[in-house]
Structure 1
């Protein structure tokens, strides 16, 4: 049960969210979230350079797409996440892959086997740690000397049109302000200098960041995307007064129509492909 899980105090808000409304919405919309980052997915997996003998740890695996695809390339893949509901879906979708396993775990403090994994991967899953230094120290400890770390994380807010637009709308037109690097959230690994300092200080070396640009897919058409986003942003919209909420809904529909094409609704996005190596000990 979630209340028995070994969890860092700093990650308690994440545990609550991912076993509550956020986890339920992500599970119900797993295909949409996977489609959203589809333009990054293969580049991320290819960067891991997985070999048939590799043991892979997938951090923040969600519904398990990255874990399953890693398992198809490696000897074994183990996915961890805080969300029980997403993990249940992941296990169902992985029934035909005996070398793929899942576990509810807080990767910041979970007692992973020492020097065990050849590769640690995470597609947008390591941005939410309450204590980044403790988390990456723990991930370094479970990596073999010379093991690889491969992460996908968002670049700064101003380079991600989709986040700029939607955050401004649900804030009633106010320009969104990103938290400082390191603060838990989508932008915690957005500053390259912070990433290099963090990883070299927690047991990794040869830290490299590659600039990836792609289109974020949000729906087959504007109405489809509106149904998804109005659900995703339901809490923020509910906090607005009725007049502001009506304006936000109109603005959301307008921007989605402006981004509609025969291929669906897309917004520009930018991510870092982060690679590092576990330092020899």
Structure 2
């Protein structure tokens, strides 16, 4: 069985996008960290639990899972070499000994059957080429009765950062923010599809609830605009425009983000996601 089947995502996360996320890991944790506590609470990791973090990136949620289970362990899995290097360095720096990281594809990685009490993910499960097969593969890695818990973006219209990028329509070729059903940030935005995928993958006890959190995108509108335009989608749009258009786009985005500045200049944007939990059945008749 091959170690990697999701070659397109492997290329992306080991190129400029992965390098960007590794370089700006603290900023991305400031953006998405508001979902950490709901995620870990939903996963109910404690004691001697063994956890698997899917699409762990630079390891924020993996480290939290390890700290929640001081007599257990946490394994972070990701396609991105640069981000995993950052994760390992952070674990060593913070002295978290019951955590490890490995590069691999969750769709096919040779997990030991029943090896984990919980599988978690913060924005790491939307990019599978075959999500039913991927989630079924993860289910077999859970012990009977083990729990899957993840956070994924809900409707793009409910997220402030997409409204910010949409302010550039007319200047840059900003299209739709992904197509439900295709690999990408909003592939699991439809609640019904999430339920259908997990049911087909053999899970029971499925719960899908909205969760909202503000993230810090920058200190001042100009800083936040630079950060947004430095992400993969932002870079892609800017690279297709002439310098004059790029300057106007930066100015337009900065003006939009001024409406989100707090008194101290911090730019905070609201994100709306699904908090999903599901269980591996204990019945012998499971798939």
Distance in 1 between the 2:140 and 2:27 partners?
Answer: 34
State the alpha-carbon separation in 2 of the partners of residues 242 and 92 from structure 1: 38
Q: Give the structure 1 partner of residue 277 of structure 2.
A: 275
Q: Within 5 A, what are the aligned runs for 1:1-281? A: 6-8=3-5, 11-74=6-69, 75-95=72-92, 96-169=95-168, 172=171, 176-232=175-231, 233-263=234-264, 264-280=266-282, 281=284
Q: Shift in Å at residue 27 of structure 1?
A: 0.5
8 Å CA contact retained: 1:168, 1:176: no
SS at match of 1:183: coil
Distance 1:244 1:159 in 2: 27
Gaps of 5+ in 2: none
Normalising by structure 2, we get a TM-score of: 0.91
CA contact (8 A) 1:164 1:176 kept: no
Partner Cα separation in structure 2 for residue 72 and residue 141 of structure 1 = 25
CA RMSD between the two structures: 1.7
TM-score, normalised to structure 1, is 0.93
What CA distance in whole angstroms lies between the structure 1 residues aligned with 2:152 and 2:170?
24
Is the CA contact 2:146–2:279 (under 8 Å) kept in the aligned structure 1? yes
CA distance in 1, matches of 2:84, 2:33: 20
Q: 1:259 to 1:154 in 2, by over 3 A?
A: same
CA deviations 1:95-116 (Å, max 9, x no partner) are 2122100000011111111111
Secondary structure of the residue aligned to 1:111 is coil
Cα separation, partners in 2 of 1:61 and 1:171, compared to 1, 3 Å: farther
Q: Number of residues paired by the alignment?
A: 275
Question: Gaps (5+ residues) in structure 1?
Answer: none
Distance 2:110 2:170 in 1: 40
Check 1:19–1:91 CA distance in 2 against 1; reply closer, same or farther (3 A cut): same
Distance (Å, rounded) in 2 between the aligned partners of 1:245 and 1:224: 16
| 1:37 counterpart SS class | helix
Alpha-carbon distance, 1:153 to partner: 0.3
